[in-house]
Amino acid sequence: MDITSLFTQFLSGLTYGTILFLVAAGLSLIFGVMNILNFAHAALWLMGAYFSYTFWNLMQSYSFAFWLSIPLAGFAAAAVGWVLEMVLIKRIYKRELYEQLLITYSVALILSDTIKLTWGVTNKLIVRPEMIRKPVFIFGAPLDSYFIFVILAGAAVAIGLWWFLKYTRYGHIVKAAVFSREMVSALGIPIPRIYTWVFTLGIFLAGFAGGIQAPIGSITLGMDTAIIIQAFCVVVIGGFGSLLGTLVGSLIVGEVMSFTILFWPEGAMVLIFVITAAILIVRPWGLFGTPMRT
Amino acid sequence: MNDTDATILEISGLSKSFGKYTVLTDVNYSLRKGEIAAIIGPNGAGKTTFFNLITGYHHVDGGTIRFEGREITDWPRHRIARAGISRAFQVSNIYPRLTTYENVRQAILAQEKRTLDIFTPANGLARQSTLELLELTGLLPNRDTVAGILSQGDKKKLELALALAGKPELLLLDEPTAGMSSEETHETMDLVKRLNAQIGLTILFTEHDISVIFGYARKLSVLYQGVLIAEGTPEEVRKSEEAQRCYLGEEV
Amino acid sequence: MKNKTLFAVILILLAVVLPFIVPVFWVHVLTEILIMGLFAASFNMIFGYMGQLTFGHAAYYGVGAYTTGLLMVKANVPLLVCLPLSMLSAGLCAALLGYFCVKLRGIYFAILTMAFGQLVYYIIFQWYSFTGGDNGLQGIVPPEFLGKAANPYYFFTLTVVTIGMIALWIISESPFGYTMRAIRDNAERTEFIGINVQRYMLLNFIIAAMFAGLAGALWGPFNRSVAPDLTNWQHSGMPVFMTVMGGPFSFLGPLVGSAIYTFLMALVTSFTEYWPLVSGVIIILVVLLMPGGFLGLLDEKFPFLMRKGNGTGKTDGQGRQER
């Protein structure tokens, strides 16, 4: 194995990890603040991918269509998420764990079929603009030029979220809520409204991630069931409610997948689950999570 | 054969901290078999933590606990319970969704080591002993009530019943009469005193009610900010300067 | 007690009579209801009785299914011998994985069981040489003495499932079963009455897995094949659905839920491919509006039907006691 191939694998893992990060960030945020494990998260991610396809399709004649469709996908998904939160999620704040899981799982089922009904079963392909059709060479290793954008976008989102949590008032409220809902509520800040915005933000991230995913390969049904579990693994490994944890977790999963596929392709997913299980056994709250969460 | 002078509980150098907050510092305590002893102290003095350490609810930071000659300092909770130490909790720690009857029966079945039985219907088992214990603790009229809706006093009685079901040698009672009427208080403490006389059950309890202390305890220790500051018979303690200064002075 | 026994007797009578009056398709559906019902009832040992949500129970179902499938296809082992062997293999698997799971509670328990479930899935999926991987195992046929028609295998399944359910009932009403209820109600207190809670949870986990394995074992010859999908997390969600639909805190709830779910699925898939959509809506409605499931609803509307003789103190989702 020479340096170039290793580096290629590394970049590939980095890209995949970035996508996982974008998907898992919202999931971790929602669980950290609202204590709800959103099984429907990947379905909304997939919906975002389909949304971006539709937007791109509509605006094809414009050169910026490709790029604009990505954030638009985020907003479209966020709108769906907002409605979902107001209509359904609000009712299950105080419910038992199994009720919350069943509800979000059912939403995933409903959304999957809704996607099927709306966009049909054929794969969707987005045509890339000229400038990102050829690979780029970094230290001799080829990298799909679009992946550069993906990694940059992921970094931007990570920095944006970090800045939001550290320097804005709303970010402080969110961080405090991860730590203790009771305290935040006692400070007179309406919890339900925070929940709605956190959920919507989380879904925006999912939809945005879907938009990012869309030009990679094609968009197919069923992509969501594969990624939801990996996103769970990321959040478990990194720690619920921790931005840094999600980042680290997604990079770990991305790179482990990428390198394991080299010499033990069948074992890649197995290894991921072994790591996830090990973290749960040894340190259930993840690498960067807070132990107080039960 | 006289073993009433045997030491049943021997604690030396017991310390416990939670983070930066030190709850108990170098506590030495011993209890003779058949004794009825009490520990008092203001809230936060460390009484409940003391019980928690003995029963294995928390790990000790330092010191040793010996029960009937054996060192139980790091034993798991269930093993300590099986060894003969039972505890009634300050905040009732019963089975809220089971009936009073089922609560007591569960504890009895556990004591009788019948809980691994997967073949026999539980409903016919331990009927006699469950009813006896219910009657002893005054819970017979409430036996079919779901325990979660019992009155505060009845919950305390159930706490006691659950603790007694374990056929303990040492019974730890954490504020056993809190929330009880004066009549219930006397009923409960008379029962405890009777058991002590009849079967030699060693009792250690914490209390805020001074009349209960003076009415039933033969040995009294004062815990203040994690340190044992006085020990002796209730009269001796009442007269001791330290106790008066730190605690009893406010009460009496 | 009396009314419950009556209910069970009615169910058995129905189960015996129906295959003779409904078309073959529905006999297949009935067989599936029974198998999934046993699967769900075994899940309820962990969920309803012990109070923990396991989202990876399908792993043991799948292990049982594959054990029987492999033994029958590769070694011609008779089905009757395969059944207990499937229980054994599922139990061993649960002993290994459950050892770690019972150190956790609540959502961590749920996620770890799910992670282990996926682990089993990927192992089966990737181990092409042994399990046939993605293709699964084909050619699992019911034994000679049952022939090829639907009814004989149905009655065989009915017999095995009935025995299994009776066994689970006996266990749930035994001191061990009541200890599970105690652990669910107040695990901490249970430690203090001298019970090693983790060990007991593991034992229950293993028992539940064994009966899931039994259900899985019945599935292979019924479906003529087994596939890795039997162990994935979506399949683990099945018993959760069914138990919640039927009534999460009663013994027959899972079976009733299986009947409702499987029946609806058979019905709906005959005229639309959007069963996930329909089932999703149904589950949401059940969870939001019928917290006690179908049996809970019956209990509310027709109390005389469901009265039990002893007060078990079980409450439905709204905290009402069942007396």
List the pLDDT tens digit at each of the 323 positions of chain C: 467 778 888 888 888 888 888 898 999 999 999 999 999 999 999 999 999 999 999 999 999 999 999 999 989 899 999 999 999 999 999 999 999 999 999 989 999 999 999 999 999 998 888 888 888 888 888 888 887 788 889 999 999 999 999 999 999 999 999 999 999 999 999 999 999 999 999 999 999 999 999 999 999 999 999 999 999 989 999 999 999 999 888 899 999 999 999 999 999 999 999 999 999 999 999 999 988 888 888 877 776 655 443 334 344 333 333 33
Instruction: Using pLDDT thresholds of 50, 70 and 90, give the confidence band for residue B247.
Output: low
C268 CB within 8 Å of a chain A CB: no
CA–CA min distance A278, chain C (Å): 9
Contact B166 C179 (CB under 8 A): no
Cβ neighbours of residue A168 closer than 8 Å, sequence gap 6 or more: none
pLDDT of residue A167: 87
> What mean pLDDT do residues B177-205 have?
88
CA–CA min distance C188, chain B (Å): 8
Instruction: Using pLDDT thresholds of 50, 70 and 90, give the confidence band for residue A133.
Output: confident
Q: The whole model's pTM is what?
A: 0.91
Give the model confidence (pLDDT) of B152-183 as tens digits: 888 988 999 999 999 999 999 988 888 788 88
Rounded Cα distance between C55 and C254, Å, is: 15
B119 CB within 8 Å of a chain C CB: yes
Residue B1 confidence (pLDDT) above 70: no
Q: Which chain A residues contact residue C284 at CB under 8 A?
A: 88, 103, 106-107, 110
Rounded Cα distance between A27 and A39, Å, is: 9
Domain C2-275 has CATH 1.10.3470: yes
Q: What is the DSSP letter of C104?
A: -
* Cβ neighbours, 10 Å, residue B64: 14
Q: Which chain C residues contact residue A236 at CB under 8 A?
A: 111, 115
Question: What does the DSSP assignment read for A50-77?
Answer: HHHHHHHHHTTTSTTHHHHHHHHHHHHH
Start-to-end CA span in chain B (Å):
41
Q: How many domains does chain A have?
A: 1
C272 CB within 8 Å of a chain A CB: no
> What mean pLDDT do residues A196-204 have?
93
Contact A284 C104 (CB under 8 A): yes
A97 CB within 8 Å of a chain C CB: yes
Q: Which chain B residues contact residue C174 at CB under 8 A?
A: 117-122
Residue B246, class by beta-carbon neighbours within 10 Å (0-12 exposed, 13-18 middle, 19+ buried)?
buried
More confident position, A294 or C62: C62
Rounded Cα distance between B47 and B208, Å, is: 11
Contact C194 B118 (CB under 8 A): no
C75 CB within 8 Å of a chain A CB: no
CATH-assigned architecture of domain B1-84+168-252: 3-Layer(aba) Sandwich (3.40)
Of A20, A46, A42, A7, nearest in space to A237 by CA: A20
Closest alpha carbon within chain A to C279: A106
Interface mutation target, options C114, C235, C261, C272, chain A, most CBs of A under 10 Å = C114
B92 CB within 8 Å of a chain C CB: no
> Pairing mode, if any, of strands C137-138 and C225-226?
antiparallel
Q: B67 forms bridges with which residues in the sheet?
A: B9, B70
Rounded Cα distance between B122 and B102, Å, is: 10
Q: Which residue has the tokens 């804005």?
A: A168
Sign of the Cα torsion B99, B100, B103, B106 reads: negative
Chains A and C touch (3+ CB pairs under 8 A): yes
C186 CB within 8 Å of a chain B CB: yes
Interface mutation target, options C243, C274, C275, chain A, most CBs of A under 10 Å = C274
CA–CA min distance A36, chain C (Å): 10
Q: Which chain C residues contact residue A273 at CB under 8 A?
A: 115-116, 118-119, 122
Contact C189 B55 (CB under 8 A): no
Of A239, B22, B99, B158, nearest in space to C322 by CA: B99
pLDDT of residue A294: 42
B125 CB within 8 Å of a chain C CB: yes
C131 CB within 8 Å of a chain B CB: no
Q: Which chain A residues contact residue C233 at CB under 8 A?
A: 229
Residue A72, class by beta-carbon neighbours within 10 Å (0-12 exposed, 13-18 middle, 19+ buried)?
buried
pLDDT of residue A171: 84
pLDDT of residue C310: 34
Residue B215 confidence (pLDDT) above 60: yes
Closest alpha carbon within chain A to C275: A113
Residue A239 confidence (pLDDT) above 70: yes
A113 CB within 8 Å of a chain C CB: yes
Rounded Cα distance between A56 and A68, Å, is: 8
CA–CA min distance C189, chain B (Å): 6
> What mean pLDDT do residues B33-62 have?
88
pLDDT of residue C1: 47
Cβ neighbours of residue C50 closer than 8 Å, sequence gap 6 or more: C180, C183, C184, C201, C204
C283 CB within 8 Å of a chain A CB: yes
User: Residue B120: which of C174, C197, C313 has the nearest Cβ?
Assistant: C174
Interface mutation target, options A95, A99, A117, A294, chain C, most CBs of C under 10 Å = A99
Residue A169 in any domain: the answer is yes
Location of each CATH 3.40.50.300 domain in chain B: 1-84+168-252
- A contact chains, 3+ CB pairs < 8 A: C
Instruction: Using pLDDT thresholds of 50, 70 and 90, give the confidence band for residue A75.
Output: very high
pLDDT of residue B250: 52
- Name the token pair of C239: 């018993």
